[in-house]
Structure 1
Amino acid sequence: MEIRRISSARNDRVRHWRKLGTRKGRDEYGSLLIEGITLLEEAVRAGWSVRALIVPEEGLEVLKRLPTLEGVPVYSLLDSTFNQVVETQAPQGIAAEVGMALERGPFQPDADTKVLLLDAIQDPGNLGAILRTAEAAGVRDIWLGSGTVDPYNPKVVRSAMGSLFRSRIRRVDLKKAIPELKELGYTVVGTSPRGKDVHFDFRYPERVAVLLGNEGKGISSAIGALADTNVRIPMPGIVESLNVSVTAGILLYEIVRQSGDSR
């Protein structure tokens, strides 16, 4: 394995990797940085393209613990430079540049494919938790409407804990995407404290798209008007709302319960 040593923090590769810490940079280059062996292994298993490995000069032994990655260049950085490239305060000894994998082709669902629609979810931790919960509930198709945080934001990547790599994520205009889903036979179910049905009384069809809204404002009126129905989650306690990632878990697992899928 050839290791390419970089001694200057002003090196073009270092500048490139630092740009990947921004959404503009990620979109420009079509790649992102991930940190740690666990996330790297998850990305490789999911078939993501690894473009470069980055290690600190004093931690080269970490390379012995990596999966086999033929032809991937390895760069060694001074520890101080490595710490400038990575996002976390306690770097895990390795970072990797991987190619982003947004879904771009036409949506071709199976009979029971569920879809999760997110309208302006802004908190990276919430989106990461939603991705992980959705995968656990068997929902891989996640459509992100306008105003939703970048799914490749480092905080989203860390909180999703690998689920990002196995999700089929699309950035969409929900005003166009929802009618298209309806044409495919989907029922779009939103949430509202004034919803007609309690969430566990509503019978979710095989083709269902669950619509969740912004942490503070909920689903926008323009998007909410496109839903076929709204369900409500009973809250006997004295609270006004639930965290959106908790709401996602409650609704998605009710769908799991109704489907009888206990795998």
Structure 2
Amino acid sequence: MTGKTADSDKTITSAANPAIKRLRALALKKYRDEEGVFMVEGARHVKDALHGGWQVDTLVYSHRAKGEPAVAAAKKAHGKCLEVTDDLLSRITGRDNTQAVVGVFRQRWTPLKDIHHGVWVALEGIRDPGNLGTIMRTADAVKAEGVLLIGQVCDIWSPEAVRASMGSFARVKMARAVLPEFLKWRKDWKGRVVGTHLNTSVDYRKGDYTQPLLLVMGSEQSGLSADITKACDQLVKIPMPGGAESLNLAVSTGVMLYEICRSKL
């Protein structure tokens, strides 16, 4: 249902409109995956996606966004543009105070074979979309290449993850693999793999972060699996001299990324 040209300027007011029904359905992962799309809220982040070459499917906006450059840019990129009421925008996003511009873009994945250089973050079994979006944002901040998702994970294209990335989704590559696929790829990959683990004596500030590098982080609940642990060239840990038993995953990933990229900052 990809639009090839801009629609007329007539405002859509009915929730029964087929285009609105379709957009509301994209709140569910099932329909996002079926169509291979995801939703971006806000003119700034829509412009980030357009500037990054992401293929726009549909752009929805309210009267508040008339004259907004993101709308003109979406039309120029041959996206389907729909003006709707503020009430319909809220229904589409499921949020009361929604942005005046919402874009639907095609999902984009980087194949494992194209992971060659720089720093990548691999996340095994991550479940929290807020953490995932925050990690994308941190990866973007240190200019890491991308994020690799391993195994059963939360949806990187969920509104929560995209929102938490604060537009960084547009600049960070995404890759994915089931565990057997990752382990097979890792055997032939020429880079270095470093994981964080509590059962090691190596301080993260003493790690060898020669690039290309894959930083592997475990799930919030279980940490790294035995198979992933064995696949690492080195295990490091972040000291916690206080009373806390663990760090938030996004926080620990941020600590690691800034240490890894310190020489470039």
TM-score (norm 2): 0.89
Once residues 249 and 137 of structure 2 are traced to their aligned partners in structure 1, the CA distance between those partners, rounded to angstroms, is 13
Once residues 188 and 132 of structure 1 are traced to their aligned partners in structure 2, the CA distance between those partners, rounded to angstroms, is 21
Match of 1:54 in 2: 60
Does the alignment pair 1:101 with 2:104? no
Match of 1:15 in 2: 21
Once residues 233 and 105 of structure 1 are traced to their aligned partners in structure 2, the CA distance between those partners, rounded to angstroms, is 28
Whether the aligned pair in 2 keeps the contact of 1:179 and 1:226 (CA below 8 Å) is: no
Question: Displacement, 1:105?
Answer: 7.0
Gaps of 5+ in 1: none
The 3-state SS of whatever aligns with 1:128 is helix
Once residues 96 and 52 of structure 1 are traced to their aligned partners in structure 2, the CA distance between those partners, rounded to angstroms, is 6
Residue-by-residue CA offset, 1:144-171 (whole Å, 9 max, x unaligned): 0122111111011111011111111012
Instruction: Give the counterpart of 1:232 among 233, 237, 242.
Output: 237
Give % identity.
Answer: 29
Whether the aligned pair in 2 keeps the contact of 1:116 and 1:211 (CA below 8 Å) is: yes
The amino acid of 1:149's aligned partner reads C
Whether the aligned pair in 2 keeps the contact of 1:182 and 1:188 (CA below 8 Å) is: no
The amino acid of 2:16's aligned partner reads R
Once residues 196 and 80 of structure 1 are traced to their aligned partners in structure 2, the CA distance between those partners, rounded to angstroms, is 56
Instruction: Give the counterpart of 2:252 among 247, 255, 261.
Output: 247
Deviates more, 1:184-193 or 1:122-131: 184-193
The 3-state SS of whatever aligns with 1:175 is helix
Instruction: Give the counterpart of 2:226 among 221, 230, 251.
Output: 221
- Cα distance, 1:252–1:105 mapped onto 2, change above 3 Å: closer
| Residues 1-263 of structure 1 mapped to structure 2, 5 A cutoff | 2-56=8-62, 59=63, 61-67=64-70, 68-69=72-73, 70=76, 71-104=78-111, 106-110=113-117, 113-257=118-262, 260-262=263-265
The 3-state SS of whatever aligns with 2:126 is coil
Once residues 33 and 58 of structure 2 are traced to their aligned partners in structure 1, the CA distance between those partners, rounded to angstroms, is 17
Once residues 251 and 158 of structure 1 are traced to their aligned partners in structure 2, the CA distance between those partners, rounded to angstroms, is 23
Once residues 55 and 220 of structure 1 are traced to their aligned partners in structure 2, the CA distance between those partners, rounded to angstroms, is 44
The amino acid of 1:91's aligned partner reads T
Residue-by-residue CA offset, 1:91-122 (whole Å, 9 max, x unaligned): 11121111111224732513xx2221100111
The 3-state SS of whatever aligns with 1:203 is coil
The amino acid of 2:151's aligned partner reads S
Aligned residues: 255
The 3-state SS of whatever aligns with 2:133 is helix
Deviates more, 1:208-217 or 1:63-72: 63-72
Once residues 65 and 55 of structure 1 are traced to their aligned partners in structure 2, the CA distance between those partners, rounded to angstroms, is 9
